[in-house]
């Protein structure tokens, strides 16, 4: 994929467990929209924002201003950040990967035939490439840091990479 767009949730989750750099190692460069940047750097996400801010300042996370015009997602459950990421991905759908965990956002992305994975899949890829020793440990660490990942999602990823 030539363009990797991350939503706020996966960025915050990886930041909280001090593993944001996995995105850089796996994808080299990541893009976020200005809406997602604002969401991550909001004071509600104190524990996750410093690594993201540093990644923006060093340039491996790029911020793109998105003007959606009159375009709106079909699903009313899609928030502003997800909507901006999907809108951006639709500009070059065949060469874009979305990293997004929210179910409504993922459903909207699939509706538009966009490639989408969640943060659990990112952890699985990192394990397959030998970047981490245990996907299970990191996924549990994310959950303990307050990030929701469903048990069934964890089980699917761990089975796919042979950890269970």
Given a cut of 70, is residue 13 above it in pLDDT? yes
Mean of the pLDDT values across residues 12-38? 97
CA distances from 10 to 22, 117, 154 (A): 11, 10, 15
Q: How far apart are alpha carbons 54 and 73 in whole angstroms?
A: 31
pLDDT tens string 132-164: 999 999 999 999 999 999 999 999 999 999 999
Given a cut of 90, is residue 28 above it in pLDDT? yes
> In terms of residue numbers, what domain contains 95?
3-160
Given a cut of 80, is residue 112 above it in pLDDT? yes
Q: Mean pLDDT over all residues of the chain?
A: 96
The CATH number of residue 89's host domain is 3.40.50.1010
**Number of independent structural domains in the chain:** 1
pLDDT of residue 45: 63
């Amino acid at each position: 994929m030539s363009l990797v767009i991350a939503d706020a949730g996966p960025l915050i989750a990886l930041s909280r467990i001090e593993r944001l750099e996995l995105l850089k190692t796996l994808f080299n460069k990541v893009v976020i929209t200005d809406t997602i940047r604002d969401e991550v750097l909001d004071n509600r996400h104190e524990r996750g924002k410093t690594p993201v801010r540093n990644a923006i300042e060093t340039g491996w996370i790029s911020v793109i201003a998105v003007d959606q015009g009159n375009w709106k997602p079909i699903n009313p459950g899609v928030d502003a950040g997800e909507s901006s990421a999907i809108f951006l991905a639709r500009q070059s759908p065949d060469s874009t990967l979305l990293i997004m965990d929210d179910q409504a956002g993922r459903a909207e992305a699939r509706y538009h035939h966009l490639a989408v994975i969640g943060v659990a899949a990112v952890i699985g890829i990192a394990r397959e490439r030998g970047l981490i020793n245990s996907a299970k440990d990191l996924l549990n660490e994310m959950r303990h840091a307050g990030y929701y990942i469903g048990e069934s999602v964890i089980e699917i990823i761990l089975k796919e990479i042979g950890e269970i």
